[in-house]
Amino acid sequence: MPIVEIPTNSLDEFWDYLSPIGSFISNMQNPIFRGQGNSEWSLTPSVLRSEILAKYKHEHRVYNQIDQIVFFEYFQLLDFLHYSDEMGLNIPNDSPEFRNHMDFSVFTDRYGIDAVGWPSQEYFSFIALAQHHGIPTRLLDWTQSPFVAAYFSASQALNLEKISEQLVVWLINSEDLRRLEGKLEYVQLAGSTSKNLAAQKGVFLIHRQQNRMNRNSPFSSEELKDSVNKLFEESEDFTTYKITLPSNLAGDLLFRCNKFGVSAATLFPGFDGAAKAALEYKMAKKLSGVL
C-alpha cells in the first residue's frame, strides 16, 4: 500500500499523528508535510492546475507539451522578473550569468527542443521566490513543519466556497525520495531566498519529465495532473501517508495552530499576513460557532 490514508475523527487524534514527539513520526529521520484543504485533491503543481490554465491561457489555442509545460511557465517567470526589476527588488542569486539564462534565445536554445532538464539548478531560487508570491510554477510546496502543513490545510478548507468533507496533511519521509532519483527531486533552498519560504520552513518537490516532450501532438494538462500521486502509488519501497480530518473541524484546527504560534501572520511576514490572519480568525470563529 504505497499511499495509506489515516482517517481521524477528532482534533486531538489528528494532532497526535502530526506531533514531532508523537509515536507515529518521531522515528522518521526527515519527514516532510503538505497540507491541503480537500483530501480529494491531487498533488498537482500550480502550473498544471486546470483553473490556473483556464484563467491565464488562451482558451481557443491547441497547446503542445513544450507550450503547456515550459513556455507558459517561462513567460510568467520572465514577466515576474521584469516587474521586480521595475520595483528595484532583489532577486536571489542574481548575476550576469543568471540574466543570460533568462534571455529568451538562450532559453529556447537550451530547452525549446524537448525541455529535457528544465528547470536546472540555477533557476531554483528564482522559481521558488516567484512561487511564494503567487506565480504558478512546477514546484510543489512541502514543509518540514507538521504544524505549518496543518495550518495550510485548515486555511484552504476555510477559504473554499463549499467546504470539503475532509482536509488532509500528506506525510512522507524525505529520505525515501532517494529511491525516486531522476523522477522526483527534493529541493531545499536557503531561507534568504524568501521571507515566506523561511517562515514556512518550505521545501519543494519537482517531478522530472521522463520522456522527451512532443512538439507536434496536442497536449492536455490532465496527462500530468496526477503524476506525483502515480509515482507514490507505484512505489513498492516506501509508504506515503494521508492523514485526514473532517473539514468542519478546520476552525478548531486553526485555533490550535494559533496556540502553537502558527498563523498567516507568522507564515506571511508583513501587513498582508496580518490581515489574512485577522480574517481567517473570524472565519474560524464562524465555523466553530464561537462568538
- What are the tens digits of pLDDT across the range 254-274? 999 999 999 999 999 999 999
130 with 50, same domain: the answer is yes
Give residue 290's pLDDT band: very low, low, confident or very high (50, 70, 90).
confident
Same domain for 188 and 274 = yes
User: Domain ends where: 84, 112, 138?
Assistant: 138
Q: Which of 87, 117, 138 is the last residue of a domain?
A: 138
Average pLDDT, the chain: 88
Note whether 77 and 27 are same-domain residues: no
Residue 58 shares a structural domain with residue 32: no
> Is the same domain home to 155 and 13?
yes
Query: Are both 151 and 26 inside the same structural domain?
Result: yes
33 and 105, same domain (yes or no): no
Point out the domain boundary residue: 83, 115, 138.
138
Q: What is the mean pLDDT of residues 27-36?
A: 93
Query: Domain tally for the chain?
Result: 2
Residue 88 has pLDDT above 70, yes or no: yes
Q: What is the pLDDT of residue 282?
A: 94
**Domain co-membership, 154 together with 257:** yes
Same domain, 275 and 187: yes
- Which residue range is the domain that position 67 belongs to? 46-138
Same domain, 130 and 201: no
250-259 and 11-18 are packed helices; what angle lies between their axes, rounded to 10 degrees?
50
Q: Computed from CA positions of residues 143, 148, 150, 155, in that sequence, does the dihedral angle turn out positive or negative?
A: negative
Give the pLDDT band of residue 16 (cuts 50, 70, 90): very high
Q: Are residues 99 and 162 in the same domain?
A: no
Residue 128 sits in the same domain as residue 265: no
Q: Is 115 left (phi over 0), alpha (psi -120 to 50) or beta?
A: left
Residue 211 has pLDDT above 70, yes or no: no
